[in-house]
Chains A and B, each alone.
Chain A
Amino acid sequence: MIPPSFDYIAPKTLSEAVAALGQENAKVLAGGQSLIPLMRFRLASPAVLVDINRVEGLSYIEEKDGWLKIGSMTRESTLEHSDLVSEKYSLLADTAKVISDPVVRNLGTVGGNLANGDPGNDHPATMLAYGAEVVAMGPNGERVIPITSFFKGLYESDLAPNEILTEVRIPAPKPHSGGAYLKLERKVGDFATAAVAAQVELDAQGNFASVGIGLTNVGLTAIKATSAEDFLKGKAATDENFHEAAKLAAEAAQPIEDVRGSEDYKRSLVRTYTVRALRLAVQRAKGG
């Protein structure tokens, strides 16, 4: 399958890339691991591809000013092998390991995984659980978008057609924090049947100081399970409370029946995986 014809440019600077996106029906080419297949299936047919792989300075992972800052063109494989991520950001490390397959992760990027707006992508739920922010560059400069207002619908994000996602920022976890991402996939490389991201912080008594829960592929966008989070805040990290929160998370899910399973099956999966993700996140927060 061959994509329809398009113009292609590969600018070296961000400002040139933003300017190029001003053309009609132009689209950013990041890792290309979703966009190129979509073009080959002719589900996407941009008139111009603006390849940002040659723009310098968009690939980095660094802790600064209380945030983990990740350049949008950072490859998933780089995240997967980052010592900093493995040591301090277990939710992100878990996520990076299960995105598509290892060969795809050599090209797939963090920014692309978010900007694509596919509810089956894994970073959206993870970033919702972390309470991340994204930075976008447009013709009028930079703006910061809280992740909670980034996903607008199926394949729709808050980005304007001429904005480029440049950075993702995750709040550096406080002491006694931990996270986990649990994904059920039929085979390596498949999208999640459902997946649950959990990030928790415990107080001195071992109660929840903060909780973030994100759900993958059970709605038109990734879902932040707010009622489950609110329920847990201030409560003890017990199995009973995990189960109660998991019920609320399953209610927040809006799955549809497809080849991966029925609506009931997916809700039940969300419930089970929420319990397990919370259990593992708490264990990690306690240093286990």
Chain B
Amino acid sequence: MSTHHISVTINGKAHEADVESRLLLVHFLRENLNMTGTHIGCDTTSCGACTVQLNGKPVKSCTVLAVQADGMEVKTVEGLAANGKLHPIQEGFHEKHGLQCGFCTPGMMMTSSALLEQNPHPTEDEIRHAISGNLCRCTGYMNIVKAVQYAADKMAEKVEA
């Protein structure tokens, strides 16, 4: 067993901790930092409920060791809203009813907001491809796709304005 001192920036805030090498990033977030917005779903790298952004890229935080995130930037669902205002992707899920039970939603939003950073005007196919590693058992994905399209439009308006 080994313990490691790590420094991780989470949602813009620096965190330092001593962690056991086997601690998974998702447990570090939920249990050490009490940031329970990131969910644990399947525990088998299949469902994407635990998706967070690591240096800007969506990854499954149940399949990354906390120690691997040393020196990196992590963004979780708690980091989406800024200055008391919802992120356009959050607004999209709200406006378009992109969720029922809400379990997959944080992961869905972390994957789709990363997509919009890379590709501000995705086609429906591109959206469906991007979220294909995130499972939703309620919505049939229709309204999730609409929510992402809403956010894309909203973000484009902001750029034009």
Contact = CB atoms under 8 A, between A and B. Distances in A.
Interface of A: 1-10, 29, 32-33, 36-37, 39-40, 49, 51, 53, 77, 100-104, 106-107, 188-189
A103 B133 contact: yes
A37 B27 contact: no
A37 B59 contact: no
A10 B72 CA distance: 14
A8 B21 contact: yes
B106 to A, nearest CB: 13
A40 B44 CA distance: 9
Given A2-B22, A6-B21, A37-B45, A32 B65 contact: yes
A107 B63 contact: yes
B43 A40 contact: yes
Interface string B59-71: 1101111011010
Interface residues of B, number: 32
Contacts of A5: 1, 20-22
A103 B65 contact: no
A53 B69 CA distance: 11
Interface in B1-51: 1-2, 4, 20-24, 27, 43-46, 48, 51
Interface string B111-125: 100000000000000
8 contacts: A6-B21, A8-B2, A8-B21, A32-B63, A33-B63, A102-B130, A104-B133, A189-B133
B43 A7 contact: no
B68 A51 contact: yes
Nearest to A105: B133
Contact of A7 (B2, B24, B129): B2
